A and B are shown apart, each in its own frame.
Chain A
Amino acid sequence: MSGVASAEAVLEVQGVFAAYAAKATALSDVSLTIPAGGMVALLGSNGAGKTTLIKAISGLLPLHHGTLVSGSVRIAGTNITGLRADRIVRLGLGQVPEGRLVFKHLTVEENLQVGAAVVPRAVGRERIAAVYDLFPRLAERRRQQAGLMSGGEQQMLALGRALASAPRILLIDELSLGLAPIIVKAIYAQLRAVRAAFGTAMLVVEQNAKLALEICDTAYVLERGVIVMSGSAAEVAASDRIRESYLGSSGGAL
């Protein structure tokens, strides 16, 4: 990790401490770097603080009665610590939140248009077309009300909405929730295609550690608000700790 010069990092989190009104320390001295176009996995058991870290980056903590106590977050060198969440989106941060927050009363197309509202019209149109190419299912249902789609389709829509904003970096919190494993694999394959096409960097929170380590270049492991391990995906996958707690094997092959 130390090899990554901060100038070319698209996301740089440094020494972040975060707390909730009801929980004194949710993150403790968390640092993490994502190089331009990098795909980074964030692993950790339930309650480790993964979602909290995503909200600390995206400026959504105050909306959940949380605070970023100290530390800094930078996007492509710009300090975004303490900025309003919508301004951070305008600086190129896209987000697929935990629990697929789509606009239930809007149509699929309108959901994507809201996502694209932060970029110039022509870029937005191009991105929405790309989203439809990526997810033909969304194209078929473009006039349907989002709340009436299946859980998995809503998850695709949440991802599509984030992609429509042409983000420099995409934070994805548990994409696989409620999706069939085969679909999850397909979507991750498409995310790699998105990265290849647009150079979008990604931070991927994923319960399926095996899958996450397959598709990402590097990984961080968070436990009780502390980063306990980081390194290339291969290194992390090979560590005993990860094999025992996340990959469900005590020494067997991956």
Chain B
Amino acid sequence: MLMQFLASGFMLGSVYGLVALGFAAIYKATRVFNFAQGMLMATGAYLAVTGSVVLGLPLVGTIAFVVVAAGTLGVVIQWLLIRPLAGRPLLAMVMITIALSIILRALIVIIFGGGAQTLRLGLPEGSFVLGSVRISAIHATAAGVSWLCMALFMVFFRFSKAGLLMRATADSHEAAVLSGVNVNRINATAWALGTILAAIGGVFLGQLQVASVELENIGLLALPAVVIGGLQSIPGAIIGGLLVGLIEQLSSGYISPKARDIFVYVPLLIILLVRPWGLFGERELGRV
């Protein structure tokens, strides 16, 4: 059983890692703690519903639709809500993202109704056996695509010019401005990427379960994931996501599905108490 729990924990954790990575990208570049990340993930599932059911697009078309729509949504959010509040206290920013998630939820319920929607994208179904573990094809696809997206993001962040400017902006806003970086454009890019990563996670979770606004609760697991991994650390977010997936599967497998939240949020509290910069984050040495 242990191997089975570890395998499914790893695969779910990969999707959480993806959503957490989106959260960390937004936080790192814009210093906004985005409580709407869970709802953005749920929105991704509904974008997939829109693409495949409403517009009748094939799989590739639906994926393209989700990516473009989520990216646009991220830019709009940054432009409309985040940018005007630049430099305001943290509380205002946090309230904005909470309000945003409530508004998104209401919009989804108005458009799609409150009930859950089944999402069938035509991804490979069935399952296969690997050693002593049975793996569902959808879980495997979800994990594989998540790792691909995470790898693409890391390559972008490390090696592209836009990624360099994003890291520079995260490092020092003022130094970036006086080096000629258009910080607004960088922040919009970070929001677009963060939203796209959340939405892709939402597509898979909608596929593994159903598309529902309640997916938000799963998406919000990105928060403990990034806090455990370290808010400032991009790899930390991925590892935090994996840990949350493993903890979830082990605790619900051995104890009870209800135990998940305790085993995820208790480590969160411990980390905040003894190592607030997370497992992989860097201790912040006084802010300028």
Contact = CB atoms under 8 A, between A and B. Distances in A.
A85 B178 contact: yes
Interface in A134-179: 161, 165
B183 A101 contact: no
Given A103-B171, A104-B171, A106-B171, A97 B164 contact: no
A224 B178 CA distance: 25
B182 interface: yes
Nearest to A97: B178
Interface string B79-122: 00000000000000000000000000000000000000000000
A105 B167 contact: yes
Contact of A105 (B165, B171, B174, B182): B171
Most buried by B among A84, A117, A118, A161: A117
Given A86-B183, A117-B161, A101 B168 contact: no
A37 B179 CA distance: 21
B131 interface: no
Interface in B161-187: 161, 164-165, 167-168, 170-172, 174-183
Contacts of A161: 179
Contacts of B167: 103, 105-106, 110
B174 to A, nearest CB: 6
Contacts of B180: 86, 89-90, 117-118, 165
A101 B164 contact: no
Given A86-B182, A106-B171, A60 B177 contact: yes
A115 interface: yes
A89 B178 contact: yes
Given A63-B177, A86-B177, A117-B161, A106 B182 contact: no
B181 A101 contact: no
A117 B174 contact: no
A89 B178 CA distance: 7
Contacts of B171: 103-106
A193 to B, nearest CB: 23
Contacts of B176: 103, 114
Interface string B136-170: 00000000000000000000000001001101101
A63 B181 CA distance: 14
A58 interface: yes
B179 A114 contact: yes
A85 B177 contact: yes
B160 to A, nearest CB: 11
A102 interface: yes
Interface string A191-203: 0000000000000
Contacts of B183: 86
B164 A102 contact: no
A95 interface: yes
B165 A58 contact: no
Contacts of A117: 161, 164-165, 179-181
A97 B172 CA distance: 13
Contacts of A115: 179
A97 B182 CA distance: 18
Nearest to A58: B178
Interface string A102-134: 111110001001110110000000000000000
B179 A60 contact: no
Most buried by A among B161, B171, B182, B183: B171
B175 A86 contact: no
A97 to B, nearest CB: 6
Given A86-B181, A90-B180, A161-B179, A114 B174 contact: no
Given A86-B182, A89-B180, 8 more contacts: A60-B177, A60-B178, A89-B179, A90-B180, A114-B165, A117-B179, A117-B181, A161-B179
19 contacts: A63-B174, A85-B178, A86-B180, A86-B183, A89-B178, A101-B174, A101-B175, A102-B172, A103-B167, A104-B172, A110-B164, A110-B168, A113-B161, A114-B164, A114-B168, A114-B176, A115-B179, A117-B180, A165-B179
